[in-house]
Chains A and B, each alone.
Chain A
Amino acid sequence: MTMMTGAEIVIRCLQEEKVEYVFGYPGGSVLHIYDALFKQDQIKHVLVRHEQAAVHAADGLARSSNKVGVALVTSGPGATNAVTGIATAYMDSVPLVVISGQVPNAYIGQDAFQECDTVGITRPCVKHNFLVSDVHQLALTFKKAFYIAHSGRPGPVVIDIPKDVTAAKCKFEYPETIQMRSYNPVIKGHLGQIKKAVHLLLEAKRPMIYTGGGVILANGSEQLTRLVRRLGFPITNTLMGLGAYPGTDPQFLGMPGMHGTVEANLAMQHCDVLLAIGARFDDRVIGNPENFSSLPRKIIHVDIDPSSISKRVKVDVPIVGNVPDVLEEMLRLLDAGNTGPDPAVLSGWWKEIDEWRAKQCMKYRMRKSVIMPQYVMEKLYEVTGGQAIVTSDVGQHQMWAAQYYKFDQPRRWLNSGGLGTMGVGLPYAMGAALQNPGMPIVCVTGEGSIQMCIQELSTAKQFRLPIKIINLNNRYLGMVRQWQEMFYGSRYSESYMDSLPDFVKLAEAYGHVGIRVDRPEDVEAALHRAFVEHKDDLVFMDFITDQKANVFPMVAAGKGLADMILTEDL
C-alpha cells in the first residue's frame, strides 16, 4: 500500500463518499488540500466569494437531493465565516460535512496567525465535530463524519484538520463500514406504540395530520401520501415540510402556524387526534404552547429524535423511529386489519373544515398601479408550471412564496426555517442548480436579504448557473416593517432600505441579465422572458412591489393558533 499525505487522504475520502461538488475558499491552512484537489478531476470545486455562501451552497445541494453537502474553508476567519451556514444547517437538520483547516498542531493555543478554536466555536451548532491531530485518524474520522451527518436525525459535522496533518504521510485505507458504540439511531418504531397509534387514528372523529421537515429529510413522502390518502384525513405541512404531501391535493389544508391558513390552524387547534410526523411543535407553528395544550386532543408523535418528543408539548403516543419505516408499518396494520376510518364521521369534520376554507384567507386585493407581491408568486407558479426548485431568503417574500407556490414534490422548496438566515437564497440556488442540472431554479428574495450574499452573483457567473432571481423589492425590510406597523405604532425604526443599488445594472455588471418590472401588467411577460428567452442565463428580476403589503393570516408571537389576524381586504 502506498503512502499518502493527509491532504491526499482528504480527497480520497471525499471520492470514496462519491462527493461530486465541494464548495470552498482557499487559505493558508488548507493549501495542501487545495494542492491535492488540483491534482485530480473527480471532485469539482466551486469557488464561492464568501465562506458563508460555501456552507449555504453545500446545504442547498443537500436539501435538493439526498446527499451530504461538503464545504471546505480555511482556519480562523474562514471557519468563523462558515459558522452562520453551519448553524443554519443544524437548525434544519441538513447533512453536511464541513472541513476546516487549522494551524499546525504545534501552534495550537499560541494565538497563531488565523487561529481560532473552531471545534469550540462550532460545538453548539453541529451534530458532532472532530479535531484530527493525527494523520492516522483521518480516514476513520471522515467515515464517521459522513455516517453521523446523514444517519438518524441528520446534521452538520465539522472536521478541523491542522495543517501539519495534511502534510504528514500514512497508508490509506477507507473503512467499508462503521460501528460506533455510542451512536446507534433507532430505525424501527415500537410495534406496540404503532398499534396504539393506529387504533387512536381509527377512533378519531376530528383527526388531523401535521408533518414537518423530518418527512422530507427521511424521504418519507411516498409513504406519507399513501397513508394520508388511505385514511382520508386532512393534512398540513409546515414551512420545512412543504412538498412532502402534494400541495395541490384537496386533502392538503395549506401551511400551519404564524402565517398559516385559517383551515390548517383551526384544524390543528380543534382536532381530537393529531398525528405529528417529523415535526417539532415549533413556536412559529403552534403559537403559544400553553394555549395549544389547553385543548383536549390526543397527540401521536413520530420522530427519529427522542428529544423532539414531548419537548414543547406533552405527547400521548410517542413513536421513535425512521419516518418511512413507521408509516409503512402503520399502512401494513391498516391493510392487515382491513379497516379504515368511518367515512360518515369524517364527512362531518370535513364539512367544518370546508367552512373554514370558505373564508379564503389567502385572498388579497389586486391594485391597478402597483404590483402585489402575492400576484408575482401566483404568476411564478403558473409560468413554471409548479415544477421549479424554489429557494427563498427570510422575510415576507419567504412567507408569500410558501403560501402561493404549491409544491407537489419534496425537495423543491429550500429555505431557512429554523435559524431564519437572511442571505441563504442565492447560495441555496447555486447548490440546487449544480445538483439538478436542467431543472428551473428560482430564488425568491427581497432587496434586504439578497444583499446579504449578493457577492455570489460572481460565483453564479463563473459556473454558468441559470438561476432566476425574483426580487420582491418593496424598499423596506418588509417583515420588520410589518411588525413595526402592527406592534410598534408604525414607528419604522431602521426598516427602510435607502440607497439601494440599481439591481438591473448590478446584475449586468456581473455579466447577468437584469429586468426591472414595476407594472402589474408586465409581470407575466417578464417571467416568460426570463424562463423562456433567457432559459440558460441568470436573470435578476427586480419587481417593484407594494410597500404596504403585509403577510396574512398572522398569529402574533405568544398567541394561540385560533387567534388569527386576517387581511383587511376580506
Chain B
Amino acid sequence: MRHIISVLLENEAGALSRVAGLFSARAYNIETLTVAPTEDVSLSRLTIVTSGTDAVIEQITKQLNKLIDVIKVVDLSEAAHIERELMLIKVRATGKDREELKRLADIFRGHIIDVTESTYVVELTASGAKLDSFIQAIDAGLILETVRTGVCGIGRGERILKV
C-alpha cells in the first residue's frame, strides 16, 4: 500500500543521505522524496512516498526514528491529510493544439508560465494522481519535457508535526 511519510530532521549536512541510504540499504522503496528547510532553519522537513506491507511500513518508521538526526516521523496517510506536487511540463504548442492545451491547463487549474511560438510551459499543482491524469490527457507526442517535485504533504486540521 502507498504511504506518505513525513519526517522532521536536523538540517545538518548529510542528513538527507542518511535517509536515502537507509532506504537503499534496507531495500525499501522510494517513489518520491522531497526535502527543504522549515520556518525554523535548523529543521528540515522531508516527505517520502513509499509502499509496502504494514510490517515493512512499521520497520520504515522505526528505522527512520533510529537515525540520530531524525526528530519526528509521521505516516500522514494514517489519517486525513492533504498532498500536493508541483509539475512543470513543456509541451509542443502549435496550430490547433495551442488552444486545446490552453483549455486543458485551465480545466486542471494550471497556469501557462512560458510561451513561445511553438511551446508552452504549464505549471500544475495537485495530487500526484491528478498530475498523472493531466499527462495522460495530453497527446504523448506533444510532451517535450516534464519535471516534478515529488509529493509534499500535511495533516488536516489540528494534526501538527512540530518539535
Contacts and interface: CB of A to CB of B under 8 A. Distances in A.
Interface of A: 119-120, 123-124, 127-128, 131, 148, 180-183, 305-307, 310-311, 314
A181 B163 contact: yes
Contacts of B13: 131
B69 A307 contact: no
Contact of B59 (A120, A148, A307): A307
B65 A120 contact: no
A49 B62 CA distance: 39
B14 A307 contact: no
B18 interface: yes
B26 to A, nearest CB: 10
B38 interface: no
Nearest to B72: A182
B14 A131 contact: yes
A127 B18 contact: no
A310 B56 CA distance: 10
Contact of A307 (B63, B68, B70): B63
A306 B14 contact: no
B21 interface: yes
B14 A119 contact: yes
Contacts of B69: 128, 182
B58 A310 contact: yes
Does more than half of chain B's interface fall in helix, strand or loop, or is it mixed? helix
B155 to A, nearest CB: 21
A182 B21 contact: no
A478 to B, nearest CB: 31
A123 B65 contact: no
Contacts of A120: 17
B70 A182 contact: yes
B62 A181 contact: no
Interface string B129-163: 00000000000000000000000000000000001
A123 B17 contact: yes
Contacts of A182: 9-10, 68-71
A128 B68 contact: yes
A180 B9 CA distance: 12
A307 B58 CA distance: 9
B68 A127 contact: yes
A241 B25 CA distance: 27
A311 B66 CA distance: 14
Contacts of A123: 14, 17-18, 21
Given A128-B69, A307-B63, 19 more contacts: A123-B14, A123-B18, A124-B25, A127-B68, A131-B14, A148-B68, A180-B68, A181-B163, A182-B68, A182-B70, A183-B68, A306-B62, A306-B65, A306-B66, A307-B62, A307-B65, A307-B66, A310-B58, A314-B55
A119 B14 CA distance: 9
Interface in B1-46: 9-10, 13-14, 17-18, 21, 25
A181 B69 CA distance: 9
Contacts of A128: 68-69
A181 B71 contact: yes
Nearest to B22: A124
B68 A310 contact: no
Contacts of A183: 68
A128 B18 CA distance: 9
B71 A311 contact: no
A124 B65 CA distance: 15
A181 B71 CA distance: 7
A538 B13 CA distance: 47
Contacts of A119: 14
Nearest to A148: B68
Nearest to A320: B62
B2 to A, nearest CB: 22
B92 to A, nearest CB: 40
Contacts of A306: 62, 65-66
**Among A148, A181, A182, A310, residue most surrounded by chain B Cβ atoms (within 10 Å):** A182
A182 B68 CA distance: 6
B52 to A, nearest CB: 14
Contacts of B63: 307
A124 B21 contact: yes
Nearest to B60: A307
A216 B112 CA distance: 65
Contacts of B163: 181
A190 to B, nearest CB: 16
B66 A305 contact: yes
Nearest to B64: A307
29 contacts: A120-B17, A123-B14, A123-B17, A123-B21, A124-B25, A127-B68, A128-B68, A128-B69, A131-B13, A131-B14, A148-B68, A180-B68, A181-B71, A181-B163, A182-B9, A182-B10, A182-B68, A182-B69, A182-B70, A306-B62, A306-B65, A306-B66, A307-B62, A307-B63, A307-B66, A310-B55, A310-B58, A311-B59, A314-B55
Contacts of B9: 182
A119 B12 CA distance: 13
Q: Which 5 A-B pairs have the closest CB atoms?
A: A307-B62, A128-B68, A182-B71, A306-B62, A124-B25
